[in-house]
Amino acid sequence: MRKASRLRKETERWDALSAGIDDAIELASLEDPDLADELSREVESLAKIVDELEFTTMLSGAYDDEDAILSIHAGTGGVDAMDWAEMLERMYLRWAEISGYGAEILDRSPGEEYGIKSVTIAINGDWAYGYLRSERGVHRLVRLSPFDSAHRRHTSFALVEVWPDVHGEITIEINPADLQIDTFRAGGAGGQHVQKNETAIRITHIPSGIVVSCQNQRSLTQNRESALRVLRARLFEMEYEKQEQELQELKGEYIDANFGNQIRSYVLHPYQMVKDHRTDFESANTSSILDGNLMGFMEAYLKQA
């Protein structure tokens, strides 16, 4: 039903565009000078729609139209890296809001002093994974550290991972015997917010070594469902990458799929610049980028891919 709804919406946009073009042609055939301004506005509007629809044809990956699960992990850089991970969390939440997507934090691990160690977010909406797959990789931040008493320039790293949220449309078998499940009390702000029962959960998938956790829901059952949802997505991604690698080997062109390559730098000092090293797309408006305006980078990646 979800897929049918998306396809229906897509065909309706194409049908509306076709009807709009027919109306514009009919308007132009009248050759009435008084209608020139109206026709010009109509052509401009149609051209914008054509550009948008042309771009969606680049989202042709097998799972580009799926929802996404995004994880951010602080890397090298100590407290600065944890602060950087939290800045990225805000950036992607703002991107989701601007783009009209729903976002739900499934799990969040705060840093000891500041920022976060990691966060996992479910982002729901048409083409969410198609856009966000451009973001996976290592993100580097260069700035004057607010945590350095000498106010020196520091470089920090964070890893962004993205998987399609397949909602059971792709069968991933999870044997309960392969799961090690641990429960614990969810962290909180203190006082009345501290959980007195063990509602948080950590699931270890023994064959793959994948560990997922969730503590943001109110009950153990809800947290368990969210954790299994993340585990299913990660197992799906592992299987998908395995198949892709096997296909590349058969073609004689093996590409190692890993998240260790630096894909983008965010420089806040000594100058202001965000640059994607894969596409060379860059912007000097760092505050706008960190406020979630990422479409320029995503579109540049998709056009090159």
Distance in angstroms (rounded) separating the CA atoms of residues 19 and 114: 55
Give the range of the structural domain holding residue 241, as residue numbers without chain letter.
Answer: 176-251
In this prediction, residue 4 carries a pLDDT of 82
| Residue pLDDT, tens place only, 67-124 | 999 999 999 889 999 999 999 999 999 999 999 999 999 999 999 889 999 999 999 9
| Residue pLDDT, tens place only, 215-232 | 888 888 999 999 999 998
| Residue pLDDT, tens place only, 6-37 | 788 888 988 989 999 998 898 888 888 888 88
- Residues 185, 162: one domain? no
Q: What is the Cβ-side half-sphere exposure of residue 28, based on CA atoms within 13 angstroms? A: 11
In this prediction, residue 48 carries a pLDDT of 87
Peptide bond into 270 cis (omega under 30): yes
Total domains, the chain:
3
Residue 287 maps to a domain: yes
Distance in angstroms (rounded) separating the CA atoms of residues 220 and 185: 10
The helix or strand, by DSSP H or E, that contains position 126, with its residue range, turns out to be none
- Residues 283, 158: one domain? yes
- Residues 138, 17: one domain? no
Helix axes 2-29, 36-56, angle to 10 degrees: 150
Contact 241, 250 (CB under 8 A): no
Distance in angstroms (rounded) separating the CA atoms of residues 187 and 117: 14
Residue 61 maps to a domain: no
Closest CA to 294 of 154, 142, 132, 181: 132
- Residues 132, 214: one domain? no
- Residues 245, 142: one domain? no
**Could you tell me the CATH number of the domain that includes residue 162?**
3.30.70.1660
pLDDT at 253 over 50: no
Distance in angstroms (rounded) separating the CA atoms of residues 92 and 101: 11
| Residue pLDDT, tens place only, 190-209 | 434 445 577 899 999 999 99
- From residue 214, alpha-carbon distances to 82, 115, 167, 183 in Å are 19, 18, 18, 10
- Residues 280, 158: one domain? yes
